[in-house]
Structures are given as structure tokens and as C-alpha cells.
Amino acid sequence: MTLITFNKPCRVLTRFTDPEGRSTLADFLSVPGIYPAGRLDYDSEGLLLLTDDGRLRAAITEPGQALEKVYWAQVEGTPTPAALARLAAGVLLPDGLTRPARARAIAAPAGLWPRDPPIRYRAEIPTAWIELAIKEGRNRQVRRMTAAVGLPTLRLVRAAVGPFSVEGIAPGESREVEWGAASEFRSSLLEVSDAVRARRDARSASRPRVPVRSSGAGRRSSGKRGPDRRR
């Protein structure tokens, strides 16, 4: 089993090919047989896990999995206690209410690399940083959450996934996780994933089944007879 931590730069696709010629993972990684475990938006940066283990990859991206992902979001505006409380409690998005999260205002992360290209600043509007930790992975979720509370995201960096951090990994660089640490992570994650799946299957099996009617059931006779086919 191979497990790779990679610091994805901004404007790099989370796949290995692109018919439009945009930058992809293939520009930075040449380890055979690995695939990304989850996605990171084209215009987002930071930690991405890749592995050649299909079960591990599925467990990392399992809906309902308790694997926490930590993001640093540079937002437009000033985070108020009320806005942070809304982010933590759950934000109602078009695809439903987000799960409870951890949200706090932070100083600009120490040692954070410059973004290429730079974000667009507007002199009359202040910016600030938020740390947001979530346990789900909807499409562009963090950006949609901050926008919903009046704090549009200008820059988004994934700082950590579970026990793994982007700290010390430069943009475009990768590290292979030592076998022992990778194996321990896999075992603990699969145990949780199997338990989540078992609970889901048990709930599904306990639901009452609705009997299926035949196509002719319940039809009333009109009293009319079809043509006499006797000869």
C-alpha cells in the first residue's frame, strides 16, 4: 500500500489528464497506480491524499465518515461571533443543512506560501482568516458556507486531513507516508467505515417494505366487453 501527501497548488486539477491542457497532478507526481482520495477544487490549495489502495480511498471519501478536514479560508469582511456560530452550528445550503463544524477566526497562518496567482484585493473591504473543520465533503462546501454567512472566500487552503498536515510541504511537493503510519491509519479508518456501513445497512433493512401492486390491480370493470372473437 502506498499513501502520498501532496500540497496541491492553485489552478491544478485533481486528476491526471485534461483534454483542455490545464495543469494536472501528472505535472507533479509520477508514482504508478495512485489516485486522489477525494477532490480539491481547481482554485483551492493544500493537502491532498493519494493512494493505490481502493478500500482506503473509498473510506477516506465515505459519506458520514468521521474523518475531519481542516481548512484555512481567507474571507472578504470581518468574521463576527454570530457568523462563526452559524458556521459551527450548520448552514442551510440548497443541498441541505451542513453538519456541525468547528469554526474560529485566526491570524494569517504562519509560513503560508504566496498564492500564484495572487487574490484580488479591494482596498475598501477588509479581509480576515477563518479556520473551519468539517466532517463532510460536498462540492465547494467551504466556499458556499462562508458565502452564506456573508463572508465570501478569496483564498482556500486545506491544512489537514485526519492526522495528516500540509505543514512543511511546499506547493507542488509530495511525501510518502511511512508504511507503519499508513497501515495504522488504514486499519483505524476501515474499522470506522465498516461500522458506518453496517449501521446504514441495518437502518435500511429495518424499514418497512411497501408491497408492489401488479399493473392490473385495483382496476374497475367498465362493464363493456371487448369484441366477440369466436368464429
User: What digits encode the pLDDT tens for the residues 153-166?
Assistant: 999 999 999 999 99
β-bridge pairing 153-161 and 45-51: parallel
Of the CATH numbers 3.30.70.580, 2.40.100.10, 3.90.180.10, 3.40.50.620, which one belongs to the domain with range 1-64+163-195? Answer: 3.30.70.580
Q: List CB contacts of 55: < 8 A, sequence separation 6 or more.
A: 186, 190
CATH topology of domain 68-161: Alpha-Beta Plaits (3.30.70)
All cell numbers assigned to 174: 509530495
Peptide bond into 117 cis (omega under 30): yes
pLDDT at residue 151 greater than cutoff 50: yes
The CA distances from residue 123 to 82, 92, 119, 127, in Å, are 25, 31, 12, 10
What average pLDDT does the structure give for the chain? Answer: 88
Give the whole-angstrom CA distance, residue 192 versus residue 59.
9
- Domain ranges in the chain with CATH number 3.30.70.580: 1-64+163-195
- Domain ranges in the chain with CATH number 3.30.70.1560: 68-161
Catalytic site positions? 41
Tell me the per-residue pLDDT of 105-117, one tens digit each, with 9 for 90 and over: 999 999 999 999 9
Tell me the per-residue pLDDT of 57-80, one tens digit each, with 9 for 90 and over: 999 988 666 689 999 999 999 999
Q: What percent of the chain has pLDDT over 90?
A: 70
Selection from 47, 9, 58, 54 nearest residue 33 by Cα: 54
Q: What global pTM score does this model have?
A: 0.84
Q: List CB contacts of 104: < 8 A, sequence separation 6 or more.
A: 84, 130, 131
- Say which amino acid occupies 52: D
